[in-house]
Amino acid sequence: MKKKTAVILFNLGGPDSPQAVQPFLFNLFNDPAIIRLPNPFRWLLAKLISTRRAPVAREIYAKMGGRSPILPQTEAQARALEAELGEDFRVFIAMRYWHPFSDETVKAVKDWGAERIVLLPLYPQFSTTTTASSFADWHRAAARAGLTAPTAAIGCYNDEPGFVAAQTALLRDRLPEAEAKGMEAKTGVRILFSAHGLPKKIVTDGDPYQQQVERSVAAIRQQLGRDDLDTRICYQSRVGPLEWIGPSTDAEIARAAQEKRAIVVVPVAFVSEHSETLVELDIEYAELAHHNGAACYIRVPTVGTQPAFIAGLARLVRSATDGGAPRCGSSQPCGAAWRRCACAA
């Protein structure tokens, strides 16, 4: 017998107006998964950081029309996934730091009468700072609202075939232009797979994110079938005084540009366009590349609603079972060393 299945797409969220920027930042930095201090210290620090960073952040969002595009893009992904899954499935959105919050989505799911729930993060690579935080927030909201439908959670899908195929196709589409420019400059092409950064201490504490980013890149390289290509993995969007995993994307772009190479940047850990891609990569890092003499600078789009990616998400949903621990959608488990993984035994 078929069940009414609610699929919950999780994403970061983003401010929908200039006035929403500071409260969005406060919600971000008040998350115990981001700043690991007890209250009231975390609350006070989040208030301080969000107040200081808001003017700069407003300037960033002004370059995107005064608001984040992440919600409408996530809505497009939700509708595409709903169409792929067919009847008896309905796809909802829960954002972590701005509307719609988990509390709002839980109410909508309960009102719809869901008989089964599948939690699906729009983070291909698992991290305690993203997927785990969203799952914890969902379970808190569900418990408060008395939502008791059997729930399965997909922890990660860093090398899921649909995700890999979609990202590889987008990269392959942009390579000829870069290779032509690299040949003209007699310097060649360098492909930079850029992921959002993470403080190093979070990784050494057992967070599998960096390892999973590396698996994503390995899978894309294998499907691309071009062993001759020069590729690097790097990390962007560093904040604060902590030591972050590296190398940094801006340093790698500057290095490749100074070598006069044609640069191709692949946002391997992002599945929709937002400030890190549309401003940081497309404006700030593009200027850095051109200033340092790159033969060209090409940024590959995120997978968005690419059919292969949506089909991959649908396969993950269909394979999910009722209840139990978060399921791993990757080809191999993280292992005991990465004890913070949702799928760790």
Percentages (nearest 5) of helix, strand, coil residues in the chain: 45, 15, 35
Q: DSSP for 24-76, please give it.
A: HHHHHHT-TTTS---TTHHHHHHHHHHHHHHHHHHHHHHTTTSS-SHHHHHHH
Average pLDDT score over the chain = 94
Residue 262 has pLDDT above 70, yes or no: yes
Residue type, 266: V
pLDDT per residue as tens digits for the range 100-133: 999 999 999 999 999 999 999 999 999 999 999 9
Name the percent of the chain lying above pLDDT 70. Answer: 94
Residue 195 has pLDDT above 60, yes or no: yes
Domain pair 5-157+307-328 / 161-299, same fold: yes
The larger pLDDT score, comparing residue 156 to residue 326, is at 156
What are the backbone angles phi and psi of residue 222, rounded to the nearest 5°?
-65, -45
pLDDT of residue 2: 80
- Strand ordering across the sheet containing 189-196: 230-236, 189-196, 262-267, 296-299
- What average pLDDT does the segment 23-32 reach? 96
Domain map of the chain by residue range?
5-157+307-328, 161-299
CATH class of the 161-299 domain in this structure: alpha beta
Burial (0-12, 13-18, 19+ Cβ within 10 Å), 139: middle
pLDDT per residue as tens digits for the range 62-106: 999 999 999 999 999 999 999 999 999 999 999 999 999 999 999
Cα distances (angstroms) measured from residue 94 to each of 38, 79, 230, 269, 285: 25, 14, 38, 19, 30
Can you state the angle between helices 41-62 and 21-29, rounded to 10 degrees? 140
Residue entry with tokens 């870069």: 178
Cα distances (angstroms) measured from residue 144 to each of 48, 115, 148, 183, 219: 30, 18, 10, 60, 40
pLDDT of residue 345: 43
Which of 183-192, 225-234, 329-338 bottoms out in mean pLDDT, i.e. has the lowest?
329-338
Task: Residue 330: name the closest of 205, 178, 185, 164 by CA.
Answer: 164
CATH of 5-157+307-328, one of 3.30.300.30, 3.40.50.1100, 3.30.365.10, 3.40.50.1400: 3.40.50.1400
Residue 15 has pLDDT above 70, yes or no: yes
Pairing outcome for strands 116-121 and 262-267: unpaired
* Residue 230 binned pLDDT confidence (cut-offs 50, 70, 90): very high
pLDDT of residue 292: 98
276 marked as part of a ligand binding site = yes
pTM (2 decimals)?
A: 0.94
- What average pLDDT does the segment 274-284 reach? 97
**DSSP structure class, residue 20:** G
Can you state the angle between helices 161-185 and 307-319, rounded to 10 degrees? 150
pLDDT of residue 325: 55
Residue 342 has pLDDT above 80, yes or no: no
Q: Which residues of 106-120 are buried (b: 16+ CB within 10 A; e: fewer)?
A: beebbeeebebbbbb
pLDDT of residue 324: 57
**DSSP structure class, residue 222:** H
Structure tokens at 342: 């949702």
pLDDT per residue as tens digits for the range 263-276: 999 999 999 999 99
